[in-house]
Structure 1
Amino acid sequence: MTERMHVFSDAQGAAEGCARAIGARLNEAIAQRGTASLAVSGGSTPKLMFREMCQIGFDWSKIHLFWVDERVVPPDDDQSNYRMTRENLIVPGGLPENRVHRIRGEMEAVAAADLYRGAVEAILGSEPVFDVVQCGVGDDGHTASLFPGEPMVADRSGVVAALWVAKKHQWRVTLLPKPILAARSLYVLSSGADKANAVQSALQGPADPLGVPSQLLRGAEWFCDAAAVQHLA
């Protein structure tokens, strides 16, 4: 394991560790530039992290919140990353609506991607650099909505794209590798034994980012529970 791997006994500990690290980096950005930007992942893993972030308490009036990716579903759909974040962070944390920049999943995918790209670039410029990007890892090795075999894994010029994910029979809107890898701080949160093979492949498997897109995150700072790292040497 590397010095950029932080291992905790359980998922709660990993979530708390990641939340504290994010808070420290956002506060540094606010101190330096007066504002900060954060892009978060969806799914179920970040819920504990979001709840910890509410307990820590951030100055959300100075933080712009974005998403790493989103399913093309309405914002009140059970699959919506925005809905999960709203229920676990935005509402309980009291985030100002004008600081929340969601992906419009209720729109047609390409139009939603274009609109989201515009929102990102309006705040961060045409070469956007987030202060913090927080990613996860799927049990199949995907990260963001970059799934195994997706050619856009190799893209280093685009910011946002609409992608059809065949295995999910679903359109997604996702940040592309360029803004993810350009982040001032890139964190990965992963927990559970079901992620152990994916974490091992991401960090120690033969180099194959097209087959294991989460290998893009090898230079990130990882926050995991013991179960997720059980196969690491």
Structure 2
Amino acid sequence: MEITERPDECICVLGGPEEMSRRAAETFLEAAERNIRGKGRFTVALSGGKTPEMFYELLGAEYADKIEWSKVHVFWGDERCVPPESPESNYNMAARALLSKIKIPDKNIHRIKGEDEPTSAAIAYEEELRAHFGLKAGEPPAFDLVLLGLGKDGHTLSIFPATKTGFEEEERLVIDTYVEKKKARRVTMTLKTVNSASIALFLVSGKEKAGILREVLRGTEEACPARMVRPGKLIWLVDKDAASRL
């Protein structure tokens, strides 16, 4: 089932996580082919969490030979402040599920240095974005695709409802932040960076997400970070459990 709220927003309700992952893989493939054909490269920001893992595994298996990985550049939307070998690392999950299965040059993998001091890591990652995209002062990067998840409190990336800097530091592309409910620091791209992307793709599954998904799509709470995501095109891929209250 497909519900379109606006011309620039598509909501697709799918049968379950496997069907959702396959649709996500097709969306990834189409975007990669279009951008590689048009400008010679495809730049994507990956997300962490449990939801995209099946999608990454599918890309690394059935799509390993369908995409010109040598022309794909991989970034991350956020990272926990842990070493890359930590099971808590967003990079680690993507490396295990996808990157270790495909022929992508090391120079095309741009991870956030979660093992470094958080403020320094955020500044360094912003500088890497500026260098990769050739940005002038004040310009945001133009990602071809940004992958996002949705937390039960409405957070996306590491921009939580109480993370004021995610909303207010409009000139920053990447920030470090303290997440009170997690008692931990994170490094995350800002809404300015996400909203400058051509496509942002949300993956949402499970009945525990049904309430917040309804609030994000139908509600009026502007303090909810996920409601503030407004890229060129916004795609929601949700399973039937997550969509049960729509």
Task: Please give the range of the TM-score, normalised by the shorter of the 2 chains.
Answer: over 0.9
Query: What's the TM-score once normalised by structure 2's chain length?
Result: 0.90
Residue 145 of structure 1 aligns to which amino acid in structure 2?
S
| Displacement of 1:217 | 3.1
Match of 2:167 among 129, 154, 168: 154
Corresponding residue number in structure 1 for 2:151: 138
Secondary structure of the structure 2 residue equivalent to 1:154: helix
Give, in whole Å, the separation in 1 of the partners of 2:116 and 2:128: 15
Q: What stretches of structure 2 of length at least 5 have no aligned partner?
A: none
TM-score by length of 1: 0.95
Question: Which of 89, 113, 123 is matched with 1:104 structurally?
Answer: 113
**What is the aligned-residue identity percentage?**
33
Partner of residue 21, structure 1: 27
Question: Is the 8 Å Cα contact of residues 76 and 112 (structure 2) preserved in structure 1?
Answer: yes
Question: Which residue of the partner structure matches residue 10 of structure 1?
Answer: 16
Are 1:217 and 2:217 an aligned pair?
A: no
**Structure 1, 2-11 or 27-36: larger mean CA deviation:** 2-11
Query: For residue 179 of structure 1, what is the amino acid of its counterpart?
Result: T
Cα pair 2:167 2:190 within 8 Å, conserved: no
Contact kept? 1:202, 1:217, Cα under 8 Å:
no
Q: Are the equivalent residues in 2 in contact too, given 1:65–1:99 (CA < 8 A)?
A: yes
Q: Which residue of 1 aligns with 2:39?
A: 33
User: Is 2:153 the counterpart of 1:129?
Assistant: no
Runs of 4+ in 1 over 3 A off after TM superposition: none
2:188 corresponding residue in structure 1: 174
Corresponding residue of 1:119: 128
CA distance in structure 1 between the aligned counterparts of 2:122 and 2:27, rounded to whole angstroms? 29
Partner in structure 2 of residue 86 of structure 1: 95
Superimposed CA distance per residue, residues 34-69 of structure 1 (whole angstroms, 9 cap, x where no aligned partner): 011000110111101101212113211001100010
Partners of 1:120 and 1:128 within 8 A in 2: yes
The question of 1:76 aligning with 2:85 is answered yes
**Pairwise CA RMSD:** 1.3
Contact residue 41 and residue 69 of structure 1 kept, 8 A: yes
| Equivalent residue letter for 1:26 | A
Worse-superposed segment, 98-107 or 1-10: 1-10
Equivalent positions of 1:201-216 (< 5 A) are 201-208=215-222, 210=223, 212-216=224-228
Distance 2:49 2:190 in 1: 18
- Please give the per-residue CA displacement for 1:94-139, whole angstroms capped at 9, x wherever unaligned: 3221110000000010011011111111111332110101111011
Structure with higher helix content: 1
2:49 to 39, 43, 61: 43
Match in the other structure for 1:190: 204
The DSSP-based 3-state class of the residue aligned with 2:176 is strand
Structure-2 separation of matches of 1:123 and 1:27 = 20
Q: Name the SS of the counterpart of 1:228 in structure 2.
A: coil
**Cα shift readout 1:67-113 (whole Å, capped 9, x = no counterpart):** 01000011111110000000001101232211100000000100110
1:227 paired to 2:211: no
